[in-house]
């Protein structure tokens, strides 16, 4: 997810933004504006700029293509064929099979980028055929600058710990309304946990996650030099307000300094183990769940090129050809979970990704998650859920064509059936669809307050997903929003400059109709 130039957590490649604004209301999870990024030029943030106007990746770290050292093994990958079972759409991909060929680094979630180019990760498995059931995408905002360290409060209290929000009526506080269902979290940054947003954060949420401040580039920018004071202040603020804290993220292809990848496979994995151990032990008593590995799977065409958001040419799903993969193969995933389990045996360990509602992608993820589970190394799956106000209407092969409540519900149930916890980790709903690029200013909404029509559509979209979340409360333990209010969202930080309004509170920090909609039950 964005950069505030580096705040977006994901970098994406979207090869064919063929979209036209739609009627809005019917889709499913994980799709933010993204630009595809190949490991060849990996932006340190959510997106890399492209001709379509996707967000630029401005961050402290870039992950150039190529790796230092070679992979000592080429893991075989299970063949995963996309399925054509999603409601409402039945796009068909080319009938070819490229399993086992090297894979190209696919772009991250919804973006406006072009398709990825370059070899895909070794042994990306899968077979051609019909496309997976439509689902949603998610990308992570790239971390932005950490900012200044908070100062102690006037009474000598811990730095940056806001006063608890008013208790109020149980029925009017969001987390209180959902206390019998699941915890409700919000992502905060180095400012929002202690500025005007803090009053909303402490009143309506009982969960927290740092948007960028706990990523590798923020915590260990140079080897052996850990900088944890900002993250610690944010975690202390959350714990001081009785919130459950998720840690995000230990291993990711983006926002990881170049020095990490220098040397042999053993040296690189050794650095990874050291980082995971040091970070998890630092927050051992205050962070209950960790996204251990993030966004390690993407879709490829028959030539092992990243297909981006347009799934017309989707042939198979495989491991992202990140520098982690180039150097260590799938071992980097298993070693990350082993190190995390050893560092804090009591922490809940998650694999986090976008577009999980696509059947083929889910099956590939399960091909290694089942093995992790057999070793006792994983506890749950994080579904990012960067959604859109509607599925696409013109482009029936864009990944958001599968972004439906039904498809997301199916994914939740499939993962839960394996005994895995399910967390909705980065929820927001863009007021735009994927029928057109973010650079198309004729589609922009530039007012500070949404029209009644947009408010109603956004509210209806939120309501249908939350109705489903409550139906599956026995399977979902947490729902976290990727931000607090519309004045501070990574979706408004693309290089195109397009403003968005994806959260429950508006730019004046007032509750929107969407807030009322998910409270009305």
Token look-up 């000598």 returns 156
Name, in order, each residue with C-beta under 8 angstroms of 479's C-beta and a sequence gap of 6 or more: 178, 182, 183, 184, 185, 423, 424, 427, 469
Indicate the pLDDT class of residue 395, thresholds 50, 70 and 90.
confident
120 alpha carbon, distance to own chain's centre: 21
67 confidence band (pLDDT: 50, 70, 90): very low
pLDDT band, very low/low/confident/very high, at 385 (cuts 50, 70, 90): very high
The answer to whether residues 392 and 22 touch, using CB atoms and an 8 Å cutoff, is yes
Residues 6+ apart with CB under 8 A from 252: 9, 140, 215, 216, 293, 294, 295
pLDDT of the residue at 118: 37
What pLDDT, on a 0 to 100 scale, did the predictor assign at position 394? 83
What is the SS3 assignment for 291? Answer: strand
Mean pLDDT, range 282-308, rounded to an integer: 97
> Residue 77 — very low, low, confident or very high, per pLDDT cuts 50/70/90?
very low
Q: How high is the pLDDT of residue 408?
A: 97
Pairing of strands 421-430, 386-388: parallel
Token reading at 19: 């979209």
- To which H or E segment does residue 281 belong? helix 265-282
For residue 167, pLDDT over 50 is answered with no
Residue 170 pLDDT level (bands cut at 50, 70, 90): low
pLDDT at 361 over 90: yes
Beta strands in 48-144 (DSSP E): 63-64
Decide if 426 is catalytic.
yes
User: Which is the catalytic residue, given 309, 330, 411, 426?
Assistant: 426
Q: What is the mean pLDDT of the chain?
A: 77
The question of whether 295 is a catalytic residue gets the answer yes
Q: According to the model, what pLDDT value does residue 14 have? A: 35
Instruction: Measure Cα distances from 415 to 139, 359, 421, 473 in Å.
Output: 20, 12, 8, 14
Contact 154, 143 (CB under 8 A): no
pLDDT tens digits, one per residue of 321-353: 999 999 999 999 999 999 999 999 999 999 999
The reported pTM is: 0.73
Q: H or E segment at 480?
A: strand 476-481
pLDDT at 35: 36
Catalytic residue among 47, 295, 309, 414: 295
């Amino acid at each position: 997810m964005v950069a505030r130039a580096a705040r977006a957590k994901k970098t994406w490649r979207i090869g064919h933004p063929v979209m036209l604004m739609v009627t809005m209301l019917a889709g499913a999870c994980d799709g933010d504006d993204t630009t595809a990024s190949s490991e060849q030029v990996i932006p340190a943030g959510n997106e890399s700029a492209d001709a379509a106007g996707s967000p630029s990746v401005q961050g402290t770290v870039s992950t150039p293509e190529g790796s230092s050292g070679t992979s000592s093994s080429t893991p075989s990958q299970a063949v995963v064929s996309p399925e054509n079972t999603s409601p409402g759409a039945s796009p068909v991909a080319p009938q070819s099979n490229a399993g086992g060929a090297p894979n190209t680094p696919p772009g991250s979630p919804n973006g406006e980028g072009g398709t990825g180019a370059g070899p895909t990760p070794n042994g990306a498995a899968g077979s051609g055929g019909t496309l997976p059931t439509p689902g949603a995408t998610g990308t992570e905002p790239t971390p932005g600058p950490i900012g200044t360290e908070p100062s102690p409060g006037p009474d000598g209290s811990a730095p940056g710990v806001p006063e608890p929000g008013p208790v109020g009526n149980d029925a009017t506080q969001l987390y209180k309304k959902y206390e019998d269902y699941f915890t409700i979290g919000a992502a905060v940054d180095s400012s929002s946990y202690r500025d005007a947003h803090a009053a909303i954060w402490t009143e309506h949420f009982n969960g927290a996650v740092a948007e960028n401040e706990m990523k590798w580039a923020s915590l260990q920018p140079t080897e052996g030099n850990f900088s944890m004071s900002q993250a610690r202040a944010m975690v202390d603020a959350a714990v001081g307000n009785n919130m459950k804290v998720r840690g995000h993220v230990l291993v990711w292809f983006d926002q990881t300094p170049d020095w990490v990848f220098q040397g042999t496979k053993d040296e690189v994995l050794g650095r990874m183990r050291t980082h995971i151990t040091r970070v998890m032990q630092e927050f051992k008593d205050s962070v209950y769940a960790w996204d251990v590995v993030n966004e390690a799977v993407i879709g490829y065409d028959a030539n092992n090129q990243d297909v981006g958001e347009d799934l017309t040419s989707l042939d198979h799903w495989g491991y992202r050809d990140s520098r982690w993969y180039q150097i260590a193969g799938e071992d980097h995933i298993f070693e990350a979970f082993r190190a995390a389990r050893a560092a804090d045996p009591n922490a809940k360990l998650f694999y986090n990704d976008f577009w999980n509602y696509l059947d083929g992608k889910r099956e590939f993820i399960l091909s290694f998650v089942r093995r992790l589970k057999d070793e006792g190394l994983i506890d749950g799956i994080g579904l990012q859920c960067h959604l859109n106000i509607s599925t696409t209407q013109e482009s029936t092969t864009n990944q958001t064509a599968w972004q439906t409540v039904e498809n997301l519900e199916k994914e939740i149930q499939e993962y839960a059936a394996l005994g895995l916890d399910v967390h909705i980790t980065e929820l927001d709903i863009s007021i735009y669809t994927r029928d057109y690029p973010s650079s198309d200013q004729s589609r922009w909404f530039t007012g500070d307050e949404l029209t009644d029509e947009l408010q109603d559509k956004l509210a209806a979209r939120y309501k249908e997903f939350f109705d489903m979340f409550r139906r599956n409360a026995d399977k979902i333990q947490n729902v976290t929003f990727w931000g607090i209010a519309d004045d501070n969202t990574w979706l408004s930080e693309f290089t195109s400059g397009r403003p968005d309004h994806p959260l429950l509170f508006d730019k004046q920090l007032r509750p929107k109709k969407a807030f009322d909609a998910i409270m009305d039950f």
